[in-house]
Structure 1
Amino acid sequence: MGSWWIRISRAINRLASGQSLQWRLAFLTGLSVALSVILVGGATYTVARWSLLDQLDNELTAVAQDLATTVATNIETMGGLTSGTLETSNGLMSLVRADGVVSQMPGQSVDLLAGPEEISIARLRAGSSARDVYEGGVVYRAVAVPLTTSEGHYAVMFARPTTALESTLASLWLVLLTAGLLGVVTTTTAALWTARAVLAPVRRLSLAVKAVTQTDQLNPIRIYGRDDLGELTQSFNTMLKSLQQSREQQRQLIADAGHELRTPLTSMRTNVELLVADDKSGMLPEGARSEVLGDVAAQLGEFSALVGDLVALTRDDHLQRPHEFLDLAEVTDSAIARARRRGPNINFAVSMESTPVMGDPSTLERAITNLLDNAVKFSPSDGTIKVDLRDGTLTIVDAGPGIDEDDLPNIFDRFYRSDKARNTPGTGLGLSIVAHTAKAHGGSVKAGNEPGGGARFTFRIPVAEIPEEFRD
């Protein structure tokens, strides 16, 4: 039984999974209704048959008792009863003695044979029995009631054809089958229409996805309601908008990177061509060749720094490294040590307190190093850079000329370089990396000018609670 049920389930699953969602809903609805119709129809038929059969048995038992009263007047002649007496009811009667001898009613064309049930009724002299009897190719419903006389113990057996009962049950079966089929067809059609109407937004969403795939156009989809499908459409539009922004940022990054890479590549190509020409003709004066090689080395360094910043910026845009518990003061101290090597004569006025945060130490150190390198770049060789860290806020103030007010809104844009920075080494990506790092850590960075002179950068990230394992 279990294996057959598994096979049927798999067949239904294969049939349903090969269709569209609309047809699957209609199919499953029709299948559910069909099963319900079968169960209800079967139960109705069974109850109706039992009720009609019980009614027939009661009727036959009443007739058999009346016949028993008549037969008791004269056992030999069966009370004068003949087949013509029961002709209107098309009934059969026989008298069963306790020893199993059966006497048929005179003139009866079909013999009504007794069975163990009737013999038991005669011997026990109580109760009644009812069963189906097959005689002459006809199904009879036979009952037996006890009869006790001075001549012995008997059972009066009376039977009547079940033709009327079977005809009624056949009509009932036809009605149930017709009504069930109409119900299944009507319900399946209604389910198909309902599924078509309900799934219309899903089809529009599917067509929109296909349009995005085929045309590469990220156009938003019209929202037709505020239900779950409307929320799904809104989420899909949000995804399209994010994808469009990401695509624009990617295009802008590629365009800006191409523009910035072109300058060092052009300069390197010119210098290399000059060296090749000098190798053939010796056109450069003494010492000029070394200067050209120095320029090539410097341009290679600039090119490598630009590629490194591009890789770091792309990584920060698309990858989120797992954050860990750390002390921002330790990360800042490591960044200051690197900055001291790049500005050996610059003084660092450092004031820091322990600041627990959740973050990625490598990206945070790179961002702080970029801020310090920017401060070293614009500070005089004997200047002082102030570094202050408290309450999750890192403030760096350099000793340079400050930032023009016109440049402040764009200072964190990719490849943006102010007029003062165009003649200084750099890629124009350092502050952009700082901004993206701050955003990835749930913080912010701002640029401004110190009242006494110099640029001021404020880098903030949320302070974290110290986990139990790190507490003393």
Structure 2
Amino acid sequence: MIWSWWIRLRRGIGRLVSGQSLQWRLALLTGVCVAASVAVVGTASFVTTRWSLLEQLDEELVQVAQNASSTVSLNVATLGGLSPDALGSYRGLVGVVSARGTINQVPGQREMLHAGPEEIAVARLNSGSSARSVEFEGQTYRMVSVPMQVEDEYYAVMYARPLTSLEATLGSLWVVLLVAGMLGILTTTGAALWAARAVLAPVRRLSRAVKAVTQTDQLNPIRIYGRDDLGELTKSFNTMLRSLQQSREQQRQLIADAGHELRTPLTSMRTNVELLLADDKSGMLPEGARSEVLGDVAAQLGEFSALVGDLVALTRDDHLQRPHELLDMAEVTESALSRAARRGPNLRFDVALESTPVMGDASTLERAITNLLDNAVKFSPPDGTIRVFLMDGTLTIIDQGQGIEEEDLPNIFDRFYRSDKARNTPGTGLGLSIVAHTVEAHGGSVKAGNDPDGGARFTLRLPVVELSEQYE
């Protein structure tokens, strides 16, 4: 039953808290914690104060009862001539109980004292004292008893006084604790709300910025306030916005460039197909021309397929999802060389490969190296030599072509960029972009330049893996 009630209470509190904002949650939780602390401290203070006041009152009453015992011992029957008026303004009550339980009261006293086991025990033992609270006509009294001996008889003098003054003091204390506790709770909750509002201001700015991005599609950076954790979060968000903006610009540029590059083979194929359709109706093409047109269409389809394949390879990020594994870059280069040798059967390859362990994806690295070798094959003269060296994680490929113009070097790895020398050669203008894209994804770099002995020089570097560290 209690457990079920506790579960319902927790669910109710959870629904109440979850429906509020974060700053109100912090303020409410702070208020609840302060309220619990105030309740514990207030209760402990009240109980301690009440106990201390009762102890002081008991000591005072015991002292009064001991003083009264000297008078009562003169005549136990009449209590030494004590009267209600003699007891003063405290409206005290006096009585005597014998060890046998016989009680004598002050003559004319309105309330009659009743001896309990505590008072009789004091009379019989003739030592110690007792103190307890009793009720008389709806009013609470504090009654104490002290031992008294008259000749061979043992007695206990009982003295009681109303707790009106003590209850008034405790009531005032309770009001003070309650008011002070409520003011403390309200003040602390308000301060927590203000502090939460100040602390969460960067979070609100970040939230508004995210909402602005989703509503306006504007990737504007957010102003950074401070160097705390929220400042770091804002900095990370700005980095994400810049990356998103760069990716969007690259996507737009890719679409524009791809549309431009795809238009040329499509236009040429459309012209040739329309020519073939017209020839079917009129037979205007001379003998043998139809075969040439079909050959052009097949070549254009091959160029179109190569362009689409390069676009797909450049835009997808399969290498980011694939786990990199330990491989020998020399073996990957040998596989790429076997492909390049088939495409340049008249060329000679001067190869020196050193075993180089790297972390990467074999298929994408082989494609990148193949693109570099294809570029060397394309621009090398007949019967030329292509030099390929791999040392310390650096792959160098040098051809014997005309080299690269200085004004073309900064743009050589851009998408669809083709120098004036390469405009009449087959290709899509994406091969070197794929190389740069792949190498950067593997944490390496690639550079283009001219060799002092003539020809173009491409240098590809990848981080080398220390096998002793890898297998520790």
Decide: shared fold, TM above 0.5.
yes
Q: How does 1:162-177 map to 2 (within 5 A)?
A: 162-177=163-178
Q: How does 1:346-357 map to 2 (within 5 A)?
A: 346-357=347-358
Q: Which amino acid aligns with 2:178?
A: L
Q: How does 1:35-434 map to 2 (within 5 A)?
A: 35-150=36-151, 152-316=153-317, 319=320, 321-434=322-435
What are the superposed Cα offsets for residues 208-231 of structure 1, whole Å, 9 maximum, x if unpaired? 111111101111122333333333
Bigger drift between 134-143 and 292-301 goes to 292-301
Bigger drift between 55-64 and 189-198 goes to 189-198
How many matched pairs? 471
Contact 2:79–2:104 (CA<8 Å) still a contact in 1?
no
Aligned mates of 1:79, 1:293 — CA distance in 2: 144
Aligned mates of 2:318, 2:58 — CA distance in 1: 87
Aligned mates of 1:62, 1:225 — CA distance in 2: 69
Shift of 1:328: 0.6
Q: 1:366 to 1:467 in 2, by over 3 A?
A: farther
**Matched residue, 1:27:** 28
Shift of 1:54: 0.6
Q: 1:99 to 1:283 in 2, by over 3 A?
A: farther
Shift of 1:6: 5.1
Give the secondary structure class of the aligned counterpart of 2:222: coil
What are the superposed Cα offsets for residues 158-182 of structure 1, whole Å, 9 maximum, x if unpaired? 1111111111100000011111111
Shift of 1:278: 2.5
Shift of 1:287: 2.2
Aligned mates of 2:191, 2:463 — CA distance in 1: 57
Aligned mates of 1:469, 1:24 — CA distance in 2: 49
Aligned mates of 2:384, 2:231 — CA distance in 1: 60
What are the superposed Cα offsets for residues 167-216 of structure 1, whole Å, 9 maximum, x if unpaired? 11000000111111111112222222222223222222211111111101
Bigger drift between 318-327 and 168-177 goes to 318-327
Aligned mates of 1:59, 1:278 — CA distance in 2: 132
What are the superposed Cα offsets for residues 226-255 of structure 1, whole Å, 9 maximum, x if unpaired? 333333322222221121111111111111
Shift of 1:450: 2.2
Aligned mates of 2:260, 2:427 — CA distance in 1: 14
Bigger drift between 235-244 and 313-322 goes to 313-322
Contact 1:317–1:436 (CA<8 Å) still a contact in 2?
no
**Matched residue, 2:14:** 13
Aligned mates of 2:279, 2:116 — CA distance in 1: 130
What are the superposed Cα offsets for residues 426-465 of structure 1, whole Å, 9 maximum, x if unpaired? 1101001111222122221111222332211111112211
**Matched residue, 1:457:** 458
Aligned mates of 1:235, 1:209 — CA distance in 2: 13
Q: Which amino acid aligns with 1:76?
A: A
Aligned mates of 1:408, 1:88 — CA distance in 2: 112
Q: 1:469 to 1:405 in 2, by over 3 A?
A: closer
What are the superposed Cα offsets for residues 320-341 of structure 1, whole Å, 9 maximum, x if unpaired? 5322111111000000001111
Give the secondary structure class of the aligned counterpart of 1:284: coil
Aligned mates of 2:471, 2:295 — CA distance in 1: 50
Aligned mates of 1:89, 1:408 — CA distance in 2: 110
Bigger drift between 266-275 and 306-315 goes to 266-275
Q: Which amino acid aligns with 2:188?
A: T
**Matched residue, 1:437:** 438
Shift of 1:62: 0.9
Shift of 1:258: 1.1
Aligned mates of 2:144, 2:278 — CA distance in 1: 128
Bigger drift between 330-339 and 131-140 goes to 131-140
Shift of 1:117: 0.8
Aligned mates of 2:39, 2:264 — CA distance in 1: 82
Q: 1:318 to 1:169 in 2, by over 3 A?
A: farther
Q: 1:242 to 1:434 in 2, by over 3 A?
A: same
Gap runs ≥5 in structure 2 = none
Q: Which amino acid aligns with 1:190?
A: A
Aligned mates of 2:471, 2:101 — CA distance in 1: 101
Q: Which amino acid aligns with 1:183?
A: G
Aligned mates of 1:213, 1:117 — CA distance in 2: 81
What are the superposed Cα offsets for residues 14-36 of structure 1, whole Å, 9 maximum, x if unpaired? 32222112212221222222112
Aligned mates of 2:334, 2:471 — CA distance in 1: 20
What are the superposed Cα offsets for residues 405-427 of structure 1, whole Å, 9 maximum, x if unpaired? 22111111110011111111111
Give the secondary structure class of the aligned counterpart of 2:467: coil
TM-score of the two chains, using structure 1 as the length reference: 0.95
Aligned mates of 2:381, 2:185 — CA distance in 1: 89
The percent of aligned pairs where both chains have the same amino acid is: 74
Bigger drift between 297-306 and 269-278 goes to 269-278
In angstroms, what is the RMSD of aligned CA positions?
Answer: 2.0
Give the secondary structure class of the aligned counterpart of 1:319: helix
Aligned mates of 1:89, 1:460 — CA distance in 2: 102
TM-score of the two chains, using structure 2 as the length reference: 0.95
Aligned mates of 1:223, 1:436 — CA distance in 2: 32
Aligned mates of 2:391, 2:225 — CA distance in 1: 51
Aligned mates of 2:4, 2:146 — CA distance in 1: 49
Aligned mates of 1:408, 1:58 — CA distance in 2: 103
Aligned mates of 1:287, 1:194 — CA distance in 2: 88
Aligned mates of 2:340, 2:392 — CA distance in 1: 23
Shift of 1:305: 1.2
